[in-house]
Structure 1
Amino acid sequence: MSIPDVQIYPHATGAAAETVAKHQEPQELVFWAGWFCPFVQRTWIALEERGIPYQYKEVNPYKKEKHFLDINPKGLVPAVEYKGKALYESLILVEFLEEAYPTHKPSLLPSDPYERAVTRIWLDHIGKNYLPAFHRLLQAQEPEQQAKAREELYEAQRKLVQHVKGPYFSGETFGIVDAAVAPWASRDWIIAEHRGYKRSGAGEAWERYAKALAERPSVLKTNSDNEHLIPIYGRYLRDEAQSEAAKAIREGRAIP
């Protein structure tokens, strides 16, 4: 299927648009976001899971407003403005929310120090193995490159799911590892349609886990309509995307 190259749609659609509409009132926490970004969705999922009050503000990637750049000169999303101070990086933000809003339950981090450490080990695996393999597959142009990246992705998924207690990483409770993976699980249709990927390629346990993540209410309510993601991912499929993640994959670097 041919994918057109058009401008990024300016705002969230579908269920995500309904969620955005509920978070327009001023709050002490301002969530600066790009509806299309899976890294943004990680933090957004955490906000929704924990019921933290926030004001949603969409960042135009082509024309970032002055106030956003004043508080966050890197111009990266996701970012939060908390009592006038800016923070960014998706998983750092999830952990920050745990500390800044301790009374908002459930926590996405285990209370036991050992289990927290195990969680961070697997977050590291996701960042160093799962996501690079996903993006290499997305951007690979030659069939041989695609086959190699596809197997690397399956292997990263198999390793992770060996430690998933089910239905979520820690068992019945949805946590930070699940939030870290969910945006890519809910978008794997793009590599299924264009890169020969199948969830079953990583085994039945991965199929069950990915399905549980993709159907989580916090994931569904932060998803925009797929039709508006297609032009964005077309740039990755042609290996023309200029995001920091795309450039890192192209240059053989870690995703920043």
Structure 2
Amino acid sequence: MGVPDEQIHPVATGRAAQTVKQHQESQDLVFYSGWFCPYVQRAWIVLEERGISYQYKEVNPYKKEPHFLSINPKGLVPAIEYKGRALYESLIICEFLEDAFPNYEPHILPSDPFDRAIVRLWTDHVNKQIVPANMRLTQAQDPQKQREHLEELNKALRTLVEKVKGPYFLGEQFTLVDVALAPWVVRDWVIAEHRGYSREAVGGGWKEYAAQLESRESVLKTSSDKVHFTEIYARYLRDEAQSEGAKAIRAGRSW
């Protein structure tokens, strides 16, 4: 994820700051992060959920270190370096953390092959339908477009929630679908305050499911104080943000 072209708070705060403090020692796995980024939070949730040892490194968005750019030429977070090899893209990292640490529990992918495929299908729905609809709604300036994108988002959420078994997507197991979605649930106050969204209006048990996601311990431990997001999201609400996702939405393309 890119960042706004103005100063942001430089480090994690609140519960996330406590988590960062616990992960400063050198480890085989280095987690390159931007505390503000929902894509980063996906991978961070999995690290905390599964109890994997890692070293946290905050990436300065304005002065990226040469070593970081050498392992990730895109210069985007999240990224990991594991025993000298690098990966990026949030969902790829999440699956790697599942595969590379098979003896760690809980698992974010079910053991049954069919259920595993179902989780991947609905994670794709989150990534390709829900997240872009949320971003289109956030960035839309015209009131009519805002109404259209709000309905688009609500429809995508209803489609998902019809499949939720409760308390999480697949039932008791917290899976990659929940991981992929949770960071946007944590941040949905932005569209609630500025774009007319409400969890109640989605219906179908969405309010209850969203509450389960945002109260998960691994989600709480990777969330910073709301106040420091305000200026970041003000850029998106004015459609001035320069992240790769924001630019893609502005250009009407996927990313």
TM tier, shorter chain? over 0.9
Q: Secondary structure at the match of 1:228?
A: helix
Between the aligned partners of 1:43 and 1:74, the Cα distance in structure 2 is 17
| Deviation sequence 1:113-145 (CA, Å, 0-9, x none) | 111111111111111110110000100001101
What is the aligned-residue RMSD (CA, Å)? 0.9
Counterpart of 2:65 in structure 1 is 65
- Alignment of 1:219 with 2:219, yes or no, is yes
Aligned residues: 251
Counterpart of 2:100 in structure 1 is 100
TM-score normalised by length of structure 2: 0.97
Match of 2:122, as an amino acid? W
Shift of 1:211: 0.7
Counterpart of 1:146 in structure 2 is 146
Where do residues 1-256 of structure 1 align in structure 2 (5 Å cutoff)?
Answer: 6-254=6-254, 256=255
| Deviation sequence 1:206-243 (CA, Å, 0-9, x none) | 11111110111111110001111000000000000000
Unaligned runs of 5+ in 1: none
Q: Secondary structure at the match of 2:205?
A: helix
Shift of 1:204: 4.4
Q: Secondary structure at the match of 1:31?
A: strand
Between the aligned partners of 2:179 and 2:99, the Cα distance in structure 1 is 17
Contact 2:161/2:204 (8 A) holds in 1: no
Match of 2:56, as an amino acid? Y
Shift of 1:21: 0.2
Match of 2:31, as an amino acid? F
| Deviation sequence 1:145-191 (CA, Å, 0-9, x none) | 11000000000000001111101011011111000000000110011
Shift of 1:54: 0.3
Between the aligned partners of 2:145 and 2:83, the Cα distance in structure 1 is 47
Between the aligned partners of 1:216 and 1:206, the Cα distance in structure 2 is 16
Between the aligned partners of 2:233 and 2:135, the Cα distance in structure 1 is 11
Shift of 1:66: 1.1
Between the aligned partners of 2:124 and 2:44, the Cα distance in structure 1 is 20
Between the aligned partners of 1:91 and 1:165, the Cα distance in structure 2 is 22
Shift of 1:31: 0.2
Q: Secondary structure at the match of 2:62?
A: coil
Match of 2:229, as an amino acid? L
| Deviation sequence 1:40-64 (CA, Å, 0-9, x none) | 0000000000000000000011111
Unaligned runs of 5+ in 2: none
Shift of 1:6: 4.8
Shift of 1:67: 1.1
Between the aligned partners of 1:6 and 1:93, the Cα distance in structure 2 is 28
